[in-house]
Amino acid sequence: MNQPVVSTASTTNGFATLSGHFVLHPGQSAAIVGTRPIAAADLLSRLLKGQHFAAAQARLGHVFTLCAHAHRRTCALAFAAALPTSISATDSDRTDVLKPPSLALLRWETARDHLRSIALEWPQRLGQPSLQDEAMHWLRTCPLPLGGATQLSNVEVWASLAALHDCLAQDADFPAQCLARWRTQGKELSVPLRALDVLSHDSAAQQQQLRLLGQAIASTPDFTHSPQWQDACAETGPWTRLRRTHQPADTQALSAWTRLEARWQDLLDIAAAPALADAATHDPLLSSGALALGDGQAIAWCEMARGLLLHWVQLDSQGAVAHYRVLSPTEWNFHPQGALALALTALAPQDTAAAQTLAAAFDPCVECSVQSAAPGTGEQEPPHA
């Protein structure tokens, strides 16, 4: 079917100015310049203060348009865990119904996010305009529409993902071309891994780590703007899923190509995975959940296309938002002292191709351009989208 072209790097509503922009500077000590205003201290709290669940969830969907589905799910989980016991979760006049979008829909929307990134961002990052035609042809055969609101039952979701699996099995030429063109250069860009390993198969260890992270978010308003985990920068993506096993971060390095390939493999895994029961509360592919932290406070999480999403909320005695903070994968991955920044600093100042490869590997959810120094001058050339 014909697919509308949907930008993965901009918003189309009144909250567009909150999305932010990053500029990457290869070979420079300040390799990542920019920020997302919405990650600033308590800006989100001011936008949501006094709102009950339905209004807060709707506004989050407007602010975070690219992965709105994951934010809606994480918001519902956070509210349900934080809601004071004196407030009825079924009192529609005060809290509405705290029901997160289904796990089936999380898989479906995550697949759509991967498709958008692969088809609309990869050719641009490769600097190969001819691949854009290949991407559009590939999208026309895709059974998942990339635009529009989601109004699907679980039965329709599973049928759609099965159709996607068949489609990818028959035609993977376009993503294969992209990965092949990145392979040599991407494998040379080896970046040490320090995974954001907050989630664990050991429930006691996971609760302890989530409590520590919740305390950091609660006590430090700027934490969501420039986060660190265990006193160091961390990264998150499909290669750090809970279902994957990792070596200790200080003994393992991953290439940019490995990170790119992990995004493609994640899409294949989602398309091929068996359907979940309608009553399922756990997905072995994409972990999500919440932990109550006491006194109307909770932290919730959701593994989505770009990595681990975290919401922290403090509710007042009426079940309305007192404080709300969101920690998205982009804030971890585009930290000015993180793995991406270190890799960019090590590049030659004119190596925009390598910088674009790294940008694709770490996949920001906002606009991101590359600006190199003009040869022999030290002056900055115009940015490359």
Average pLDDT over every residue of 171-183: 93
Kindly list the distances between the CA atom of residue 25 and the CA atoms of 197, 336, 338, 343, in Å, as whole numbers in the listed order. 28, 11, 14, 11
> What does the CA dihedral 72, 73, 76, 78 come to, rounded to 10 degrees?
-110
Least confident residue range of 144-148, 171-175, 226-230: 144-148
What pLDDT score was predicted for residue 159? 95
What pLDDT score was predicted for residue 1? 39
Domain annotation covers residue 50: yes
Domain annotation covers residue 2: no
pLDDT higher than threshold 90 for residue 43:
no
C-alpha gyration radius of the chain: 20
Mean pLDDT of the chain: 87
What pLDDT score was predicted for residue 244? 86
E strand or H helix that includes residue 35: strand 32-35
Give the Cα separation of 64 and 370 in Å (integer).
23
What is the distance, to the nearest Å, from the Cα of residue 158 to the centroid of all Cα atoms in its chain? 23
Domain annotation covers residue 6: no
Does 383 or 225 have the greater pLDDT score?
225
* pLDDT tens readout for residues 344-377: 999 999 999 999 999 999 998 888 899 987 655 5
Domain annotation covers residue 132: yes
Average pLDDT over every residue of 7-35: 72
Domain annotation covers residue 383: no
Domain annotation covers residue 4: no
Pairing status of strand 367-370 against strand 21-24: parallel
Average pLDDT over every residue of 255-277: 96
Give the Cα separation of 7 and 385 in Å (integer).
13
Give the Cα separation of 241 and 259 in Å (integer).
12
pLDDT higher than threshold 60 for residue 385:
no
Range of the domain at 360: 16-370
Domain annotation covers residue 376: no
The CATH code of the domain that includes 171 is 1.10.645.10
Res. 151 pLDDT band, cuts 50 70 90: confident
High-pLDDT (> 70) share of the chain, %? 86
Domain annotation covers residue 144: yes
Is 328 exposed, middle or buried (CB count within 10 Å of its CB: 0-12, 13-18, 19+)?
buried
Give the Cα separation of 361 and 79 in Å (integer).
33
Give the total number of structural domains in the chain: 1
Give the Cα separation of 47 and 60 in Å (integer).
9
Give the Cα separation of 338 and 307 in Å (integer).
15
Does 9 or 321 have the greater pLDDT score?
321
* pLDDT tens readout for residues 210-246: 999 999 999 988 899 889 998 899 999 999 999 986 5
